[in-house]
């Protein structure tokens, strides 16, 4: 587990130069902004697909 964590930290440090950001700024963007937005997006897509699937199932079983 420590090795994986260290690899992730090293990856974030590698992103500092091309993006011109600090390690902390990259962390904020990834884990406070981007990850929650992706989670909400995929959750809403899942809810929408589930609702459409239920509607389709009711239509086909009548």
User: Are residues 23 and 10 in contact, defined by beta-carbon separation less than 8 angstroms?
Assistant: no
pLDDT band at 2 (very low <50, low <70, confident <90, very high): very high
High-pLDDT (> 90) share of the chain, %: 79
Cα dihedral 31, 37, 39, 42 in deg (nearest 10): -150
Q: Among 50, 42, 45, 44, which Cα is nearest to 58's?
A: 50
**What pLDDT shows up at residue 43?**
98
Instruction: Spell 18-39 as b/e; 16+ CB within 10 A means b.
Output: eeeeeeeebeeeeeeeeeeeee
What ranges do the domains of the chain cover? 2-60
d(CA 47, CA 2): 36
Q: Please compute the mean of the pLDDT values over residues 24-37 and round it to a whole number.
A: 96
């Amino acid at each position: 587990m420590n090795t994986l964590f260290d690899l992730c930290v090293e990856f974030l440090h590698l992103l500092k130069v091309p993006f011109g950001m600090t390690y902390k700024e990259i962390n904020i963007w990834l884990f406070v902004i981007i990850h929650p937005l992706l989670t909400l997006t995929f959750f809403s897509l899942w809810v929408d697909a589930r609702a459409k699937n239920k509607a389709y199932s009711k239509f086909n079983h009548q």
